[in-house]
Chain A
Amino acid sequence: MKVLLVGDGARENVLAYSLEKSTKGYKVYALSSYINPGINSVVKATGGEYFVGNINSSDIVEKVIKKVNPDLGVIGPEEPLFHGISDVFRQEGIPVFGASKKCARIEESKAWARELMWKYSIPGRLRYKVFYTIEDAARFILEYGGSVAVKPAGQAGGKGVKVIADLEAYLTHDKREALTKSVNEIGSLYNKEGEPRIIIEEKVDGPEYTLHVLTDGKTTIPLPLAQDYKNAYQDGIGPETGGMGAISGPTELLPFINSEEYQTTYDIVKRTIDAIYKETKERYVGVIAGQMMLTELWGPTVIEYYSRFGDPEASAIIPRIESDFGEIIELTATGHLSKAHIKLNEQPSVVKAIATLGYPISKQMASGHMIALDLDKMKEHGCMVFFGSVALEGTQLVTKGSRALEIVAMGDFKEASENLDKCIQYVSSDTKLIYRTDIGKTVEYQSEKAEIIRYSYKNRERRGILGISADWSPNGGLW
């Protein structure tokens, strides 16, 4: 069976890996904007072909489809989904793993997602306001009280989120001043005619985790939880990134999320899938992920949704699945998910991303660097390697500005994390490498945090005030 995989990064490398590993004998074809070395080796090993081109262009995708005549499409990243690439496959009568343009709106527009949650009274929703102009957003920030998260109203590659806890009255002015200044930048990240540019939400606090749910439009299957590490630098300090690493397990949970919370989260995502169907009249096919936070306000709370696999979460989750994940992708795309069964390796996994100096602040600075690695030595140490933002140019690996590699190890968190640190020694570059050694080593601290939060939301539950919150300020009034 011929499979056409669309996308460039480490997440697509993981998907390619599970297609290669499958007993179904998939022939993997790929369309990327550059030659990803990991995907390339899968394409070669399975006898497919590699195409380079704009993955967001319907024309180009259509041409490649005509050439390959695939039996199945798999779309990795969100951008092609927003551009309706999965719809192109369906118009050609090819089953595809990937949400339609309309369904992918759950990720593309944060404003739409929040509106949906309020309209259908889905638990775990946050108070929010949308703004069409930067001036209005800036005024709101200056006039209203409370802690806020300011975001582009639509997906902007995980960039631009500013979260401000406003708990110290003596610093209010300085924090709001900085926020107002950054509104310009945040507002420039998502600018679509007729749509809000900025969304401001109440700020919540707690351990974060992600639940991915596979769905063919009828059946849903939840995958094991994962947690990604957003801060760029060591010890959870520094600017926001797509994720510098992730952990998953043991079992389908995380040490700081219990099975009741897992179930509640799954219910929230299922209700969201239903609501999307009611709004769009289209069945959601592919994967939807709830980026969650355990908060005092609700317990499981939605921060945002993904219409695809999280990256690097995919690298933490998929290698733990012992059943034929390539086949499960096919069953999802073809509407036979009810036949699928997930068998899980109960051991945890840890992922670390490696980027070059400059990421995430300066893509230019992080681009165009040589990178080299001793893959055999890394495998000897029990690390799997997935290639991300790094292109095979001739025989050289050249960085493209984002996270170049994701390496994965299984085992107890601390042990796996240390194992990965050993593997990183076999990666070299003509510039400094950026990675975090603390990933997988802060689990105890997060359990303590979760336990404290659990008291409070359980208390709210008993008092019947889950999700009820407000802010007030003399200038802005009640919000």
Chain B
Amino acid sequence: MAGILGILAFDNVWNVSRFLYYGLIGLQHRGYSKSGIAILDKQRNIFTKLENVAPEDLEIKDLNGWAGIGYAGIRNSYPMTIDNGAIVVDGIIDNANILNQVIKDPENAITEIKKPISFIAISKDGQLIAYRDELGLKPLSIGGFGFDLAIISSEPTSMFVIGAEFKREINPGELVIVDKYHIESKQVRIPRKSYCTIEYVYQARIDSIVNEKDIYDLRVKIGEELALEYPINADSVIGVPDTALPFAIGYSRRLNIPLDLGFTRTGSPIRTMLSSDAFLKVVGVQLKLNPIKSAVKGKKIILIDDSMVTGTTLKNTIFNLRKLGAKEIHVLIGSPKLISQCPYGVEVPEEKELISANLDDEKIARVLGADSIHWLSLEGLFRVIGHRNLCLGCMTKKYPW
């Protein structure tokens, strides 16, 4: 999981470093433990800055240039220096040597890449070269800022944050080259659409448009679908912030059960699942969400979350809700069961760490201390999304690549 970004100004009066910086903050929900920026100046030098910090903490004072790329993620060190330029990658690459050819001969380099990745490179002679894998597993969009900037980004969220206009998603298998004099696009590989389900249910931000869908609408519909599949008689619906809130809204609307804000936040909205450090994970869970007593006391609660990995987070959450007087807690998960790892770089751990790969529902409920637990069905997911061109590897163990 990573957020990648590229910005190019058609006019040298622009210094795009701060645009890259804020653009990356608009992507840090995709990973924030490593971040970096590479920038091209008027003398055609590339300066790179990368650190093990969140994009907000990246020091960019010295960076100045008219084009550049950026990375917010959790693995590798990007931007990576390559022949005549630099590159950022979303996805896992086995052979980094291939990336060296991206600037010289992008089409051939792409045919040699053996894993589904999206990348954005910047060359010393001023080209942004971007590619989205043929499955569309990794999202990539293009936008513009007036007559002045072009922007390519994992999600439109980084365009919104700099005031640019989202234009379209780059097609699976499409290569886009932007320089001062033209924008060229070429379908290098035949698309075999197999969109990442995790993008829909968890990864993308709720103001995003990813894989041809408005994410917010889709997640509200997932909540409505849950209401159809598991209508539970309760007093209140609570979504675990932030990702599960739209699910809760959909569920509440469909069944006319009031929606409550069950938690408030301490600290910044870091994503526990993305934390590389086990200790930080615990801190994240314990610190970030505190339940609100008067919202739950004496009530039968539907608690909705977006996914479940080891169950630790939810177990703690349920414990805290009970302590504050929740009478019953029924857990609904807005995605099908995660039972297998992701070989493409999404942070789904291996099978032995996944509670739903190892225990049946009754045991899981016992572990969590919940009155019941249900997952969105695969069929329900298909109904909501409206097609089956999906990568469901982590839910079915069937991988498209």
Contacts and interface: CB of A to CB of B under 8 A. Distances in A.
Interface stretch (A99-107, A166-174, A263-271, A323-331): A166-174
Given A174-B18, A357-B182, A358-B181, A239 B142 contact: no
Contacts of A343: none
Nearest to A175: B163
Nearest to B15: A174
A165 interface: yes
A230 interface: yes
A197 B33 CA distance: 50
Interface string A441-452: 000000000000
A338 interface: no
A179 B146 CA distance: 13
Contact of A238 (B13, B163, B165, B183): B183
A101 to B, nearest CB: 30
A235 B14 contact: no
Given A168-B163, A170-B22, A178-B15, A357 B181 contact: yes
A258 interface: no
Nearest to B160: A168
A165 B163 contact: yes
A234 to B, nearest CB: 5
A434 B163 contact: no
A231 interface: yes
Interface stretch (A156-164, A286-294, A470-478): A156-164
A57 to B, nearest CB: 33
Contacts of A165: 146, 163
A233 B15 CA distance: 21
Interface in A239-297: 239-240
A236 interface: yes
Interface string A104-128: 0000000000000000000000000
B143 A237 contact: yes
Given A164-B146, A168-B162, A231-B144, A434 B182 contact: yes
Contacts of B150: 233, 237-238
A322 interface: no
A380 to B, nearest CB: 26
A83 B376 CA distance: 73
Q: Give the residue among B142, B182, B185 with the most A Cβ atoms within 10 A.
A: B182
A163 B181 contact: no
B15 to A, nearest CB: 6
Contacts of A374: none
Given A357-B181, A357-B182, A361-B180, A171 B162 contact: yes
A463 interface: no
A237 B142 contact: yes
Contacts of B19: 171, 174
A339 interface: no
Interface in B7-36: 10-11, 13-15, 18-19, 22
Contacts of B162: 168, 171
A165 B22 CA distance: 16
Contact of B147 (A168, A231, A235, A362): A231
Given A358-B181, A361-B180, A362-B181, A171 B163 contact: yes
Q: Give the residue among A179, A237, A239 with the most B Cβ atoms within 10 A.
A: A237
Contacts of A230: 147
Q: Give the residue among B15, B22, B181 with the most A Cβ atoms within 10 A.
A: B181
Interface in B163-209: 163, 165, 167-168, 178, 180-185
B367 interface: no
Contacts of A22: none
A237 B161 CA distance: 18
A192 interface: no
A59 interface: no
18 contacts: A164-B146, A165-B163, A170-B18, A171-B18, A171-B19, A171-B22, A178-B14, A178-B148, A182-B13, A233-B183, A234-B183, A236-B144, A237-B142, A237-B143, A237-B150, A238-B10, A239-B11, A434-B181
Interface of A: 161-165, 167-168, 170-171, 174, 177-179, 181-182, 230-231, 233-240, 357-358, 361-362, 365, 432, 434
Interface of B: 10-11, 13-15, 18-19, 22, 142-144, 146-148, 150, 161-163, 165, 167-168, 178, 180-185
- Shortest 4 CB-CB contacts between residues of A and residues of B: A237-B144, A181-B13, A233-B183, A235-B167
